[in-house]
Structure 1
Amino acid sequence: MNDDAPQDRNSWDQDPQTTDDSSLSRRSVLRTTAGAVGVAGTGLGLGALGSGSASAAEHPADSEALSVPARRGATMAGVRFDRRSTVRVGIVGLGNRGGSMIDLFLAVDGVRVVAVCDPVKDKAERAAAKVTAAGQPAPAVYTKGEDDYANLCARGDIDFVYVATPWDFHFEMARTAMLNGKHVGVECPIALRLDQLWELVDLSERTRRHCMQLENCCYGRNEMRVLRMAHAGLFGDLLHGAGAYNHDLRGLMFDPDYYEGPWRRLWHTRLRGDLYPNHGFGPVSNYMDVNRGDRAVSITSVGTPSLGLAAYRKEHMPAGDASWKETYIESDRTISLVQTAKGRVIRLEHDVSTPHPYSRINSLGGTKGVFEDYPERIYLEPDHSNDEWADFGAYADWDHWLWKEHSDPPGGHGGMDYMMVFRLMQCMRLGLAPDFDVYDAATWTAPVPLSHLSIKAKGAPQQIPDFTRGEWRKARSGVDSDRPTE
């Protein structure tokens, strides 16, 4: 979750994906709106997700074969990190998200921030000052343009690269980190095309480096409690779940000082589907052991008309503002149904363009009852009766061991950010397998291109690739981990 803290303009914020049109500077893509004219526009239109062609029909996903390619390396499922006493971290992107997350890396014992990178020198220097204020040696600072992150990744004294930049950059930065022998964690979403997701899977297997979608919502207190209860059988046989990113971002997307230029709003000129499925999909996938005994098989999506951003612009933006050159095609609300190999159903929703309270839905149902969040409430047999919701707080004993040991964690989003950083760094220090891996990253992000294709096809189901290549059939641990004994 990356939308709560203000950030300065003209620095890397958080979140993802680069254009393949070599005639366009990636920075110019982020800083201008001149080409954003909807599906038919070049550069910033739908073709920006493919090879730069102007036609939506030429998007790579439209013709991509969904057969599973042969594995070119060994599986990364269950692969442990090399044990190390100190985890050396490089941070790329120091705006809204990265500028706050650096505090959490510095708060974890056994972690050293070795290098920081952002094209805005002031931001990088402020981050470096935080490192020295925490009693660590001054980090190397990389500020020489948009590609200086490659020099950070090439260093020999970094174990883990953390990427917190706009969506347009995530794929290439994750790729570069692994090619330089680094484990990498990326803010949501990790990429926005199926071919890129497959490339990250293949690179992780070939380089033997973990590539992780840093999905903080998997570490929310409610999510981790529901996870443990589900795995203990309190919900019976699991049947259905739901997750969402329903967050009114209209004001922020038109705020020139919040995001780096208009980059996030411009994605609403490119795709019709669920642009941000990870916060909802990740936790429910964990409940159902997706990639660890079950698999997401297909997705069917529908979307409303795209009216919200244009209506907001009409009411709030002056004539002549650059946003008036944009044509929005992103559905105001996208609703998707994911079917799993075991027949379960997961409902996903995305809506950042209309007025409504914040909700990730976070629901789980089975043969013995149901949990729903926002607000949190539960109904289980035989504990409850009379068709009345009960107090979820009564189940606090089911809190995950992380929340029992860190009951008042620092940082934002209710402590889930710290829990995610602490647990990942713990796994690296102790030589454990990460709680989630490149297969989870690809699965949780696949709804971005596939929901778009389903909406284009009037709700026709789209097959979700088996990124694990059959490994999903093997049960293994994930976020519902045992407390390690050091």
Structure 2
Amino acid sequence: MENNRRNFLKTAGLSGLSLVAASPFSAYASTTKELETIGEQASKIRSQVFNMSGYAAPKLDVVRVGFVGIGNRGMGAVERLNQIEGVEIKALCDLRPERVNLALKKIEANGHRPQLYSGSADAWKKLCERTDLDLIYIVTPWALHTPIAVFSMNHGKHVCVEVPAAKTLEECWQLIETSERTKKHCMMTENCCYDFTELLTLNMARHGFFGEIAHCEAAYIHNLQELVFSKEHFYQMWELEEMYKRTGNLYPTHGLGPVCQVLNINRGDQMDYLVSMSSNDFVLGNLAKELAAKDDFYKPYVGKPFNGNMSTTTIRTKKGKTIMVQYDVSSPRPYSRIQLVSGTKGVALKYPEPARYSTGHEWMNEKEIKELEEKYMPPIVKKMGDIAKNVGGHGGMDFLMDWRTIDCLRNGLPLDQDVYDAALWSSVGPLSAWSVAHRSNSIDVPDFTGGAWQKNKPVDISMSKGGTTQAKV
């Protein structure tokens, strides 16, 4: 089956499409007809393989974890899992010895005695090959997400991988092939799905507050000018390189993930096709010139074709719903993921905060919103919300995500995000690049579930099972 799938990738042009990520304005080899049949052919092949949606792996009394990548977000992940019952941190890996040593100091008081890996670009392979690990937690630069995830699953490990899980469509399929064949979870750690407002909105949707949802809007708008040019923040300037090697919506999942759950994408509905458009870059190129005039370190970045300031992608689903997703990390704008959910009976809008709700021409007042929150607050927030806020991590959503993941693994429950979510949400990146490079023509979105979206069950936030794992706080 794996060979058949790889042959399909070649004949259908998916391997060619993956190259768009590296050279978005280069000629594309596949024909329009091939693009139009991607979803249909993929579904025929996908119907023959194991469905990971709703899959519950055998229970793990103790989840033995190895971390690969202990930079900015990786260190936070180590500290969070250090505070969850039933977790044994057995291995830490980073290129820099000082990072693994610092992580060790943060967790050894809780009895963790991990083996340390560093100094070699492929040290992570030795970690993943160990036979005493259940879960590999990947927090590396984007280019390593899929290679490490695939290698880990092939060596019998479940995977938590940072966003985006894949940079190309071929990588999306690699994740799916491997997860299905090995029956190992591949969860993209999309923390924004566990933000309290997003969870509230999801529960409201489940209980019909919005009626029939027709349209959602999402985004990742975050001014990162200083950080992407910082010599210390993104090790070896990897994110700045991403900004000129590709174009389109490079980081779609923070806003997209929560609204996909609200719309039951992959679980009752599916993306059909998308259109994407990007502005030119009016910021990063100029900033590179200004910095290079003062510091020769930045001269290699002068004249690079940086991604445009704003990328806007519109998606239509099989059931006729629409989604708008924006991406802008270089404009001096306040942070926003938009998070608009619009239905036939009501609407919610998170940004600018505080979140607002309405069933008519005007937003609800504070009293009405408080009553609404009390009525629809989901069980996971009632149980763990205060603890999560105390531990922290983007206001607590990071800890809530990690706690929920560990609790599901320990209780033998399906994870809230599966490999199809990881692939689909990440695929908007390379698909948007193709659309931008082709004068914003539409492109079909592959059905990574092989038609199973029509019967897959929605994400369960009722916590009717599980919830037994304690926090060490």
Shorter-chain TM band = 0.7 to 0.9
Structure 1 position 84, deviation (Å): 1.6
Match of residue 455 from structure 1: 436
Task: Give the SS at the match of 1:239.
Answer: strand
- After superposition, give the CA deviation of every residue in 1:338-395 in whole Å (9 maximum; x if it has no partner): 11111000110000011100000011000012111122343433xxx55345444442
Cα distance change on mapping 1:205 and 1:328 into 2, 3 Å:
same
Letter in 1 for 2:417: F
Matches within 5 A, 1:312-461: 312-319=287-294, 320=296, 321-374=298-351, 375-381=353-359, 387-391=362-366, 392-397=369-374, 398-408=376-386, 409=388, 410-461=391-442
Identity of aligned residues (%): 34
Question: How many angstroms apart in 2 are the aligned matches of 1:298 and 1:112?
Answer: 43
Question: How many angstroms apart in 1 are the aligned matches of 2:247 and 2:456?
Answer: 35
Letter in 2 for 1:422: W
- After superposition, give the CA deviation of every residue in 1:382-432 in whole Å (9 maximum; x if it has no partner): xxx553454444422212212111232112201000000000000000000
Task: Answer 1 or 2: which has greater helix percent.
Answer: 2
- After superposition, give the CA deviation of every residue in 1:192-239 in whole Å (9 maximum; x if it has no partner): 110110111111111111111110000000000000001100011101
Cα distance change on mapping 1:326 and 1:172 into 2, 3 Å:
farther
Matches within 5 A, 1:272-311: 272-311=247-286
Larger CA deviation: 450-459 vs 425-434:
450-459
1:61 and 1:194 in contact (8 A); partners too: no
The correspondence for 2:222, drawn from 242, 247, 250, is 247
Structure 1 position 309, deviation (Å): 0.4
- After superposition, give the CA deviation of every residue in 1:30-80 in whole Å (9 maximum; x if it has no partner): xxxxxxxxxxxxxxxx96956xx8982258899776231613631111110
Task: Give the SS at the match of 2:236.
Answer: coil
Are positions 1:129 and 2:105 aligned together?
Answer: yes
Match of residue 61 from structure 2: 85
Cα distance change on mapping 1:314 and 1:357 into 2, 3 Å:
same
Question: How many angstroms apart in 2 are the aligned matches of 1:60 and 1:127?
Answer: 47
Structure 1 position 168, deviation (Å): 1.4
Moved over 4 A (4+): 46-50, 58-65
Question: How many angstroms apart in 1 are the aligned matches of 2:153 and 2:278?
Answer: 36
Question: How many angstroms apart in 2 are the aligned matches of 1:283 and 1:157?
Answer: 34
Task: Give the SS at the match of 1:141.
Answer: strand
The correspondence for 1:94, drawn from 70, 73, 85, is 70
Letter in 1 for 2:130: R
Are positions 1:466 and 2:447 aligned together?
Answer: yes
Question: How many angstroms apart in 1 are the aligned matches of 2:456 and 2:133?
Answer: 32
Letter in 1 for 2:221: N
State the number of aligned residues: 435
1:97 and 1:164 in contact (8 A); partners too: yes
Structure 1 position 112, deviation (Å): 0.7
Letter in 2 for 1:404: K
Are positions 1:108 and 2:75 aligned together?
Answer: no
- After superposition, give the CA deviation of every residue in 1:71-124 in whole Å (9 maximum; x if it has no partner): 363111111021121111000001101111101101110111011111111111
The correspondence for 2:26, drawn from 48, 56, 63, is 56
Question: How many angstroms apart in 2 are the aligned matches of 1:91 and 1:61?
Answer: 42
Question: How many angstroms apart in 2 are the aligned matches of 1:242 and 1:273?
Answer: 17
Larger CA deviation: 126-135 vs 413-422:
126-135
Letter in 2 for 1:57: A
Match of residue 208 from structure 1: 183
- After superposition, give the CA deviation of every residue in 1:313-360 in whole Å (9 maximum; x if it has no partner): 334443532344451241210011111111000110000011100000
Task: Give the SS at the match of 2:324.
Answer: strand
Question: How many angstroms apart in 2 are the aligned matches of 1:484 and 1:84?
Answer: 15
Cα distance change on mapping 1:103 and 1:434 into 2, 3 Å:
same
Structure 1 position 296, deviation (Å): 1.0
**Unpaired runs of 5+ in structure 1?**
1-45
Cα distance change on mapping 1:270 and 1:448 into 2, 3 Å:
same
The correspondence for 1:185, drawn from 160, 163, 168, is 160
Match of residue 13 from structure 2: none
1:175 and 1:200 in contact (8 A); partners too: yes
- After superposition, give the CA deviation of every residue in 1:107-152 in whole Å (9 maximum; x if it has no partner): 110111011111111111111222212223x101111401111111
Task: Give the SS at the match of 2:325.
Answer: strand
Are positions 1:478 and 2:459 aligned together?
Answer: yes
Task: Give the SS at the match of 1:115.
Answer: strand
2:200 and 2:378 in contact (8 A); partners too: yes
Match of residue 231 from structure 1: 206
The correspondence for 2:122, drawn from 124, 147, 158, is 147
**Unpaired runs of 5+ in structure 2?**
1-17, 469-473
2:25 and 2:437 in contact (8 A); partners too: no
Letter in 2 for 1:252: L
Structure 1 position 160, deviation (Å): 0.5
TM-score (normalised: structure 1) = 0.85
Cα distance change on mapping 1:328 and 1:89 into 2, 3 Å:
same
1:435 and 1:477 in contact (8 A); partners too: no
Q: What root-mean-square deviation, in Å, do the aligned CA atoms of Structure 1 and Structure 2 show?
A: 2.1
Letter in 1 for 2:356: I
2:21 and 2:246 in contact (8 A); partners too: no
1:244 and 1:279 in contact (8 A); partners too: yes
Letter in 2 for 1:102: V
1:118 and 1:142 in contact (8 A); partners too: yes
